[in-house]
Structure 1
Amino acid sequence: MSGSLHLPAGVLSARFENKQTLSFVERTTPPPVLLAPHLLRLQDGAWSLMGSRCVACGELYFPRARGCTRCSGTELDDTALGHSGRLWSWTIQGFRPKPPYDGSSADGGEAGFQPYGVGYVQLESGLKVESRLTVADPARLRIGMPMRLTLEAYRHLPGGEAVHTFAFEPVPDSTPS
């Protein structure tokens, strides 16, 4: 499957690199449908994960939190957590998750399931975030490799429009040979 998904004018566009992964290039029309829009923000032409930072002690949270577990503070500000980091740990999900984490049975059900990577990415701030990975080939993943945030089709609406979630992909030229 090849093609382009056009996003708001003046930002970036996204190109389908394979059946499910988007890479950003140049933008022009409607934004993608997001599974959890509160987790992402378009900032300076790139998607960023959104979390919170405790005003009192600076502790970071993803997703956003209402209270700080470090100092018991209750004043937390929304904060962009960034879009890059390093792969801290990973595994390959070899079976279809149970609802509501299974995407959609309309996308091929059990027969259409493809194993996918899941990992922890340590962001530049030091915060570790659990995420889908765009790579499911163990030979292409290694602890410590640079990763960047992207969007990935998670399921499709009845009319066929893709609903996207965030995922991390290896930075080009960083995969093991």
Structure 2
Amino acid sequence: MNPLPSLWGSDSPWRLLGSRHIASGELVFPPLSSHSPLAAQYRTEPLAAEGSLYSFTIIHPSPKSGLVPFALGYLDLEGPVRLFGRISGSERPVIGGAYRVLPDETYGYVFESVEASQ
């Protein structure tokens, strides 16, 4: 049995899971493990699939690494909850832009511009 919670809902494969505190309504990510001493105080629920980019930075790896520059950013979702992750695509990210959360085998999840995918 895996004590670590899954990041993705089984009935909604494009929605990350979070935990909502029953008494206060606070939403947290990642979801609490069922083995946590606090688990009885939270319920697991899917997070919003899209949000607004709060901030980002462009990472320029050393040329010796062979890696191309990439963007990391904070995405604000309803809840409220703020996620940190990699931004996919080659376009420069836009603060305040609409981004969706997608699964990624390497990073667990990435953010993709809603406009770039249309």
TM-score w.r.t. structure 2 length?
A: 0.76
Partner AA of 2:97 in structure 1: M
Structure 2 stretches lacking a partner, 5+ long: none
* Partner residue in 1 for 2:45: 79
Q: 2:109 aligns with which of 145, 148, 166?
A: 166
| Superposed displacement of residue 74, structure 1 | 5.6
**Distance in 2 between residues matched to 1:130 and 1:136, nearest whole Å:** 18
Post-superposition offset of 1:67: 6.9
Number of residue-to-residue matches in the alignment: 111
In structure 1, distance between residues paired with 2:60 and 2:69:
5
Structural RMSD (CA): 3.0
| Farther-moved stretch of structure 1 (128-137 vs 75-84) | 128-137
Within 5 Å, give how 1:61-76 maps onto structure 2.
Answer: 61-65=28-32, 66=36, 75-76=41-42
Indicate the residue corresponding to 1:89 in structure 2.
55
Structure label with greater radius of gyration:
1
Which residue of structure 2 aligns with residue 143 of structure 1? 95
Q: Does 1:116 align with 2:70?
A: yes
Give the C-alpha shift of residue 149 in structure 1.
1.4
Runs of 4 or more, structure 1, over 4 Å off, are none
In structure 2, the partner of 1:134 is 88
Distance in 1, Cα, partners of 2:97 & 2:7: 23
In structure 1, runs of 5+ residues without a counterpart are 1-35, 97-108, 155-163
- Cα 1:136–1:91, aligned 2, differ >3 Å: closer, same or farther? farther
Q: CA–CA distance in 1 between the matches of 2:37 and 2:18?
A: 12
Q: Distance in 2 between matches of 1:52 and 1:165?
A: 17
Aligned to 2:7: 39
Where 2:14 maps in the other structure, the secondary structure is strand
